[in-house]
Amino acid sequence: MSIHSNVGPGDETGGTAHAVAFMNSYLDSLTLVEPLHRLLLDVIKDEFERLGMLEINAVQALLLFNVGDNEVTAGELKTRGYYQGSNVSYNLKKLVDTGFMHHQRSEIDRRSVRVSLTPKGRDVRKVVSQLFATHAAGLMGKGVLDHKGIDDITMALRRVERYWTEQIRYIY
């Protein structure tokens, strides 16, 4: 994703130097969101390749990590934020077929399928969890971020998420 600003003083977006600077910083931050997620997937992929665990991809490993000890429906994967992609059915089927997840039809609503991790899926989750723990220790140990810094980033991203959600809900 590449976003560039052609906003200058006097434009309809605010016109002041402060507004222009904010707009440029906002657009700069937006250019980091997708590449950071892709980079995270590359880091996970590299870890699994290093360990010789080639039967699962990074998206699936992250999905297993996010599900954790929960038992959820396919629909809940998206609403709870466990999965952001568009092909959740494909990845669920693949994870069930390869033995990383259990699936069971609901007794009440036969259309609904609940999924949970198998022991093999929990092993994958443990690998991702250990990788993230190593990252956290490295970020702190090398002075890249401290606790306040990561909390500030998280809080700022949650505020942007809330703002965008409100834009979708209330503008149209």
Residue 110 identity (one-letter amino acid): R
Whether pLDDT at 13 is above 60 = no
Could you tell me the sign of the dihedral formed by the alpha carbons of 5, 6, 9, 14, in that order? Answer: negative
CA distance 88 to 92: 6
Quick one: pLDDT band at residue 6, thresholds 50, 70, 90? Answer: low
CA angle 63, 130, 100 (to 5 degrees): 35
pLDDT digits (tens, 9 = 90+) for 136-168: 999 999 999 999 999 999 999 999 999 998 998
Q: What are phi and psi of 39, to 5 degrees?
A: -65, -40
CA distance 123 to 48: 12
pLDDT digits (tens, 9 = 90+) for 37-69: 999 999 999 999 999 999 999 999 999 999 999
- Residue ranges and CATH numbers for the domains of the chain are 1-54 (no CATH), 55-141 (1.10.10.10)
